[in-house]
Copies of this chain bind each other. A is one copy, B any other.
Amino acid sequence: MKVLLVGASGIIGRGIDAELSQRHEIIRASRSSGDVNVDLIDIASIRAMFAKVGKVDAVVSATGKVHFGDFSEMDDDKYRIGINDKLMGQVNLVLVGRDHVADNASFTLTTGILSKDPIRYGSSASMVNGAIESFVRAAAIEMKPGLRINAVSPGVILEAMEGYAPYFRGHAPVPASRAALGYAKSVEGLQTGQVFEIF
């Protein structure tokens, strides 16, 4: 398969790359490195990416920014960061990509454990993750027959614990290589409308 991996240079992205490149051709997309550059908050940039890479069999997104901050200081603007980036960035990747992918292609988005298991400073991450999970369930049943969409919801990533540990006490870290299995299940399996939780 030809797999477009958005966020290829990130911690999870590199884990997915190591897993899927054993069996598939990977086209690596990132904001400023890889085979093709893309900024998911810019729809024109998404269109340019698909025009450049041609038809792919799978689109995998392992990217998306949200603002972490004390709830007492969260305001409309701070929630919009995650809405524009991790939520609508990934949604627009699907909305643009669905017209450019091969028959029977899959989309795999990234959410995370905070949708169900909230932490201090994480209200925007929770909101956005919950939105992605419900979007995936709904989009799956209305997509053009043959196309599939899933999300992967990993716990806190082991390789990111240096910065994240103080906020994720009690959370069992998940190695990126293990999170990558959720993406492989989505890309190489046949399920759709699922949220694969990886603990």
Q: Which residues of A contact B (CB under 8 A)?
A: 43, 70-72, 74-76, 79-80, 83, 87-88, 91-92, 95, 114-116, 118-123, 125-135, 137-144
Contact at A133–B135, with CB atoms within 8 Å? no
Contact of A123 among B115, B116, B138 (CB under 8 A): B138
Contact of A71 among B87, B131, B143 (CB under 8 A): B143
Copy number in the complex reads: 2
Contact at A134–B126, with CB atoms within 8 Å? yes
Query: What's the minimum C-beta distance from A90 to chain B, rounded to whole angstroms?
Result: 11
Determine the chain B residues whose CB is within 8 A of the CB of A129 once the complex forms.
134
Query: A4 to B88, alpha carbons, bound, how many Å?
Result: 32
Q: A91-B79, A137-B118 are in contact. Are A142 and B130 (CB under 8 A)?
A: no
Main secondary structure of the interface of A (DSSP, over half): helix
Determine the chain B residues whose CB is within 8 A of the CB of A118 once the complex forms.
134, 137-138, 140-142
